[in-house]
């Protein structure tokens, strides 16, 4: 009897301690370690998502755990380009599209633009025209390709083929649009926005932009409160009756980081797929293709002899002999036609080459930086009105840029926050940057030139002694608005490199296997397109380096 009594006392004490520890744990999670005050108090005060686990994988992406690797060509440089010398880099964890952006994905983008900015409206016609891929890239002076010119982009037979004819500028604009549409979906699902508002309430005067929503949420959708407060979330009020948590902020964890083009270092790291080639805490080099081995054909018993990518096998040989030794494609191939690499990424060799974010330079300046390397930073900030509010672009204020080929593209779209270069307010006494445009840093600007000295006159020597003396074709409009095009006929030009040429990586259906090496790098003008360059998007990882693992490993 006594033993039963003692057992009951022990059980009661155990339950009490458990309840106390749970209460303490719960309380500590929702109270500040800085002040002791409650977080997310129903009466107001500091609001923060204390239940956030990790970043949700956005549509179309796969996770790439970052690490250290040898960037650059580790095979013999038979072409003697000397523009991809091996160097050790560290890449942060990120996400990348499982496949190249397809025709159907891009057509969804065009459909949205056509609905929101109708091209039959003279104010918006150039927005739609500027987003259209150049289907004429398929034409060949001595080849018949009108079938691709007319059908490749829109016919369902090519729906899951990679989009081509897209310039670097157009690829960036697609990524920006994709960011807004995904975050719009997330906010609808979380109850912050009215359900289906992207279909029923979206127009040129009323649409969603991620940066605008974060900075000035009441300006999104043209200030339409029916959309902004029409979600399924129940309104909360503080002790004074004021509404709180009406709009999602970064602190909620609901808003996703932006889709963007991958950096060259990220793309090369992801293409190599070296997760099985670890040596202590670094990845070994000597990897020639996104797959293991030194050959382009499969060595597996079931698929022995099959090509592992879509590329040009020899002169006049774009796919092998029909029915035998065939890689399954003569132009591009449907995405996922070949095996993925160890990261789960398809077509990181062959099919189409891909735009990356970087401005091209013959060197990778690892002496200055070996962490998340990227050349192309142009820092901007929000434009501010006289009353201190951010300046939102209206349909009447869209600015267009004239490209080197004479085409016009919208620099900004209605609903976005106007961006201006950073100035001394942001750069004064900083040690990490001192100018808005850093594309030339340590390679290409006056301070980098071999002619730089105390008496260097950049204006006087701009055309004769500049490091990258590329052609400057003249594009301007006369008083009637007619376009005047003048070729640069100078005989003194020494390079095709300037601040508007971008890196593209990977071989294509038009390339020999030499270009399938992920270390290979080439460049092309950012405002032009071809029939062999496509793209895929990436997204930065927030939080822990490893997915699902928050504890530090030894």
Domain of 218?
Answer: 191-252
Is there a single domain that holds both residue 91 and residue 237? no
Q: How many domains does the chain have?
A: 2
Contact 353, 511 (CB under 8 A): yes
Which pLDDT value is given to residue 457?
A: 55
Contact 425, 139 (CB under 8 A): no
What pLDDT digit, counting tens, does each position of 453-464 carry?
655 555 544 444
pTM, two decimal places: 0.90
Burial of 197 (0-12, 13-18, 19+ CB in 10 A): buried
Q: Give φ, ψ of 43 to 5 degrees.
A: -90, 0
Residue 109 lies in a domain: yes
Residue 486 lies in a domain: no
Which pLDDT value is given to residue 486?
A: 85
Is there a single domain that holds both residue 233 and residue 336? no
Distance CA 515, CA 271 (A): 13
Residue 304 lies in a domain: yes
Is there a single domain that holds both residue 124 and residue 87? yes
Which pLDDT value is given to residue 245?
A: 86
Which 3-state string (H, E, C) describes 109-157?
HHHHHHHHCCCCCCCCHHHHHHHCCCHHHHCECCECCHHHHHHCCCCHH
Which pLDDT value is given to residue 554?
A: 46
Is there a single domain that holds both residue 183 and residue 306? yes
- One digit per residue, the tens of pLDDT, for the chain of length 554 reads 556 556 666 666 666 665 555 544 444 568 899 999 999 888 888 989 999 989 999 999 999 999 998 899 887 777 777 888 899 999 999 999 999 999 999 999 999 999 999 999 988 999 999 999 999 999 999 999 999 999 999 999 999 999 999 999 999 999 999 999 999 999 999 999 999 999 999 999 999 999 999 999 999 999 999 999 988 888 788 888 888 889 999 999 999 999 999 999 999 999 998 765 555 444 455 677 787 767 677 767 666 667 768 788 888 888 777 665 677 788 999 999 988 999 999 999 999 999 999 999 999 999 999 999 999 999 999 999 999 999 999 999 998 888 888 888 898 999 999 999 999 999 999 999 999 999 999 988 777 776 666 555 555 444 445 678 888 888 877 777 677 888 888 888 888 899 999 999 999 999 998 899 999 999 999 999 999 999 999 999 999 998 865 555 54
Is there a single domain that holds both residue 308 and residue 231? no
Is there a single domain that holds both residue 175 and residue 284? yes
Residue 430 lies in a domain: no
Is there a single domain that holds both residue 202 and residue 98? no
Is there a single domain that holds both residue 126 and residue 178? yes
R_g of the chain, CA atoms, integer Å? 27
Considering 235, 252, 269, which residue would you say is the last residue of a domain?
252
Residue 511 lies in a domain: yes
Residue 361 lies in a domain: yes
Which pLDDT value is given to residue 24?
A: 46
Is there a single domain that holds both residue 75 and residue 167? yes
In 250-285, which positions are buried (b, 16+ CB within 10 angstroms) versus exposed (e)?
eebbbbbbbbbbbbbbbbbbbbbbbeebeeeeebeb
Among candidate residues 270, 200, 171, the one with its CA nearest the CA of residue 502: 171
Is there a single domain that holds both residue 317 and residue 358? yes
Q: Considering Cα of 215, then 219, then 223, then 226, what sign does the dihedral take?
A: negative
Contact 505, 264 (CB under 8 A): yes
Considering 231, 252, 273, which residue would you say is the last residue of a domain?
252
Is there a single domain that holds both residue 71 and residue 157? yes
Is there a single domain that holds both residue 248 and residue 268? no
Which pLDDT value is given to residue 448?
A: 75
Residue 103 lies in a domain: yes
Burial of 48 (0-12, 13-18, 19+ CB in 10 A): middle
Residue 156 lies in a domain: yes
Considering 252, 276, 300, which residue would you say is the last residue of a domain?
252
């Amino acid at each position: 009897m006594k033993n039963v009594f003692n057992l009951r006392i022990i059980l009661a004490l155990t339950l009490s301690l458990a309840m106390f520890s749970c209460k303490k744990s719960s309380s500590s999670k929702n109270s500040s370690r800085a002040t002791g005050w409650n977080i997310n108090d129903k009466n107001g005060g500091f609001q923060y998502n204390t239940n956030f686990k990790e970043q949700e994988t956005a549509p179309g992406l796969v996770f790439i755990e970052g690490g250290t690797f040898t960037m650059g060509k580790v095979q013999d440089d038979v072409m003697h380009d000397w523009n991809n010398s091996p160097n050790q880099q560290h890449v942060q964890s990120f996400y990348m599209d499982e496949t190249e952006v397809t025709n159907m994905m891009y057509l969804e983008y065009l459909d949205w633009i056509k609905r929101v900015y109708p091209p039959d409206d003279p104010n918006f016609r150039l927005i739609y025209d500027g987003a259209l891929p150049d289907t004429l890239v398929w034409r060949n002076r001595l080849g018949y390709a009108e079938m691709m010119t007319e059908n490749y982009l829109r016919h369902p037979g090519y729906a899951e083929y990679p989009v081509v004819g897209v310039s670097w500028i157009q690829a960036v604009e697609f990524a920006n649009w994709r960011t807004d549409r995904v975050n719009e979906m997330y906010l609808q699902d979380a109850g912050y926005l009215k359900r289906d508002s992207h279909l029923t309430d979206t127009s040129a005067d009323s649409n969603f932009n991620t940066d605008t929503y974060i900075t000035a949420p009441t300006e999104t959708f043209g200030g339409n409160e029916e959309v902004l407060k029409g979600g399924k979330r129940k309104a909360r009020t503080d002790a004074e009756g004021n509404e709180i948590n009406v709009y999602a902020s970064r602190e909620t964890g609901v808003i996703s980081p932006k889709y963007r083009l991958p950096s060259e270092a990220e793309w090369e790291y992801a293409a190599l797929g070296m997760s099985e080639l670890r040596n202590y805490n670094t990845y070994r080099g000597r990897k020639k293709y996104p797959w293991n081995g030194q050959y382009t054909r499969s060595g597996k018993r079931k698929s022995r002899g099959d090509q592992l990518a879509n590329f040009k096998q020899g002169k006049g040989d774009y796919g092998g002999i029909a029915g035998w030794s065939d890689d399954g494609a003569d132009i591009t191939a449907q995405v996922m036609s070949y095996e993925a690499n160890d990261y789960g990424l398809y077509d990181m060799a062959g099919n189409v080459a891909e735009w990356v974010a970087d401005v091209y330079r013959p060197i990778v300046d690892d002496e200055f930086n070996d962490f998340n390397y990227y050349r192309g930073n142009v820092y901007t900030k929000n434009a501010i009105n006289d009353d201190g509010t951010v300046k939102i672009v209206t349909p009447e204020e869209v600015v267009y840029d004239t490209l080197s080929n004479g085409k016009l593209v919208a620099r900004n779209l209605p609903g976005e926050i106007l961006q201006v270069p950073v100035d001394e307010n942001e750069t004064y006494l900083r040690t990490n940057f001192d100018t808005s445009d850093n594309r030339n840093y340590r390679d290409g600007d006056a301070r980098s030139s071999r002619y730089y000295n105390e008496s260097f006159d950049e204006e006087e020597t701009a055309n004769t002694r500049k490091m990258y003396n590329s052609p400057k074709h003249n594009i301007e409009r006369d008083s009637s608005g007619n376009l005047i095009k003048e070729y640069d006929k100078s005989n003194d030009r020494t390079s095709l490199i300037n601040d508007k040429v971008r890196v593209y990586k990977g071989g294509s259906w038009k390339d020999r296997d030499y270009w399938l090496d992920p270390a290979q790098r080439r460049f092309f003008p950012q405002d032009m397109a071809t029939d062999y360059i496509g793209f895929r998007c990436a997204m930065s990882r927030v939080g822990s380096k490893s997915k699902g693992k928050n504890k530090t490993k030894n």
